[in-house]
A and B are shown apart, each in its own frame.
Chain A
């Protein structure tokens, strides 16, 4: 060991906090990419399912009179796969990551530095948002190329629906992250929340075929509203105000709950 002179290096210019935040965010991306499982469940699986189901199940590429001549691969199947991807990020990836950070004392350690642990939370959300955007682009791009999936006809409205939907699901994911006792059970609890939500979104029983009462319930679930708002924009319409309002409401309520329940250690 040598006694190197470690006197302070040149003082940083103001805005050093941002340098730290940038480094932290970059590090979160690196760590995310070093965990192959995360990308498998959020991108490979949904896109793979779209291509396999879309090409293997008879009738998925035929015009369906029950849907006014729309094909399943046009918007229903890709929208469900986007929900699967965003939902997995929201209810499994985010809670597992934050539970790990909490139980390993990483959030507590950060709180002893000049950088607030809130920034780690933000970085984690940004990483998952990026994954969601990549999932959407790949789903629509590859779907279009391979299956002739339609490209959203009202891209601005689609972006609005996507943004509000991601906000609602991610903030709900923070609520899950707040209550899971440890990282080992985070995935299981996440799945227990996600699968009923996917059901209400129409994953197994499309909304068009749902009984009236069930569809009403679906309208008020975050996934049901999210999926339908995306599909409305996809097929050239405007998302219903109801669905956008439902997403905003879920975001607001979940944010309050998460802020109350979240523990840093």
Chain B
């Protein structure tokens, strides 16, 4: 049975005169990984801080695990674990010490030793925080978010600054957390990450929700087009144009670019094979969540928006 574990309606939050969140509504189902994506300053972090009770919203309604963050902060902190952007530990605190310490803050903590093993930091138990690698710090940070046995874990900018291998390892860990039945809210500006991990994604743009859908659904919204590029003999041109799946054909000195609907790849390859024409260097390109994101949020506002946090 699916139930909503987080429900946000008409959330508003401003800092002084600056509006951080204008009007955000979404709901998260129990057990899913729910992504929140958006440019820097779109209001992602503020949104999850209000949901977790770390900040008080100016307007709108929030319930999380059936509680209102404005009234039940204390109980929400027992039930919601967070991993925050730009939060570290004292240099000389050891990994095991940190987890043991945070475990002592909760009424029903997880077994911190088992958790340390589970995130792959068993051998690093006595390593001071300063000597942990970026990936290991993120693993510790995830463990800290889980040590209170939360029902919901909020992970903010989990893999920013990690190398590709560490990023993939961290993703595996997130999937493991999901497998344990913890609902995850994942704030990210990496579309690849959202595409890989999230069941559903909310795109937040300028303090409002631009779209909520599965990653595939978002991609399908902006583009169902496939693009093929290959080299072939010039006579392929006529063959290609006669196919119903093909929308456009351009060809220049034997280099073909073909666009079409979902079945275009098979149609092209079979038609060419029937004429004994071999497409060389065949590549297919498809719209990604990146394209969907850009289509939903408009052109970048000057600086490189997807690379830096905040």
Q: Which of B108-143 contact A (CB under 8 A)?
A: 108-111, 114-115, 117-120
Q: Which of B180-210 contact A (CB under 8 A)?
A: 180
Are the C-beta atoms of B118 and A16 separated by less than 8 Å?
no
Is the C-beta of B253 less than 8 angstroms from some C-beta in chain A?
Answer: no
In this complex, the member of A20, A111, A112 whose beta carbon has the largest number of chain B beta carbons within 10 angstroms is A112
Chain A residues whose CB sits within 8 angstroms of the CB of B146 once the complex forms: 6
Chain B residues whose CB sits within 8 angstroms of the CB of A100 once the complex forms: 90
Count A-side interface residues using an 8 Å CB cutoff: 35
- Chain B residue at minimum C-beta to C-beta distance from A28: B90
Contact of B101 among A11, A12, A27, A105 (CB under 8 A): A27
Are the C-beta atoms of B74 and A114 separated by less than 8 Å?
yes
Do A114 and B110 form a contact, CB below 8 Å, given A4-B118, A6-B115, A104-B90? no
Is the C-beta of B82 less than 8 angstroms from some C-beta in chain A?
Answer: yes
Chain A residues whose CB sits within 8 angstroms of the CB of B23 once the complex forms: none
Is the C-beta of B102 less than 8 angstroms from some C-beta in chain A?
Answer: yes
**Interface 1/0 per residue, A1-23 and B, CB below 8 Å:** 11111111101100011011011
A–B pairs, 29, beta carbons within 8 Å: A1-B117, A5-B114, A6-B115, A6-B118, A11-B107, A11-B108, A16-B104, A19-B104, A20-B106, A23-B104, A31-B90, A31-B93, A101-B90, A104-B88, A106-B87, A106-B88, A106-B89, A108-B84, A109-B84, A109-B144, A111-B54, A112-B52, A112-B54, A112-B82, A113-B105, A113-B148, A114-B105, A114-B106, A114-B107
Q: For the complex formed, measure the closest distance between the CB of B39 and the CB atoms of chain A, giving whole angstroms.
A: 22
Is the C-beta of B86 less than 8 angstroms from some C-beta in chain A?
Answer: yes
Are the C-beta atoms of B114 and A12 separated by less than 8 Å?
no
Is the C-beta of B306 less than 8 angstroms from some C-beta in chain A?
Answer: no
Is the C-beta of A34 less than 8 angstroms from some C-beta in chain B?
Answer: yes
Q: Which residues of A contact B (CB under 8 A)?
A: 1-9, 11-12, 16-17, 19-20, 22-24, 27, 30-31, 34-35, 100-101, 104-106, 108-109, 111-115
> Whole-angstrom distance between the alpha carbons of A138 and B210 in the complex?
66
- Chain B residue at minimum C-beta to C-beta distance from A23: B104
Are the C-beta atoms of A104 and B87 separated by less than 8 Å?
yes
Interface size class of B (residues with CB under 8 A): 35 or more
Do A8 and B87 form a contact, CB below 8 Å, given A114-B74, A114-B77, A114-B78? no
Are the C-beta atoms of A1 and B120 separated by less than 8 Å?
yes
Q: Which of B46-98 contact A (CB under 8 A)?
A: 52, 54, 74, 77-78, 80, 82, 84, 86-90, 92-93, 97
In this complex, the member of A4, A12, A101, A113 whose beta carbon has the largest number of chain B beta carbons within 10 angstroms is A113
Chain B residues whose CB sits within 8 angstroms of the CB of A1 once the complex forms: 117-120, 172-173, 176
Chain B residues whose CB sits within 8 angstroms of the CB of A12 once the complex forms: 107-108
> Whole-angstrom distance between the alpha carbons of A8 and B107 in the complex?
9
Q: For the complex formed, measure the closest distance between the CB of A111 and the CB atoms of chain B, giving whole angstroms.
A: 6
- Chain B residue at minimum C-beta to C-beta distance from A100: B90
- Chain A residue at minimum C-beta to C-beta distance from B87: A105
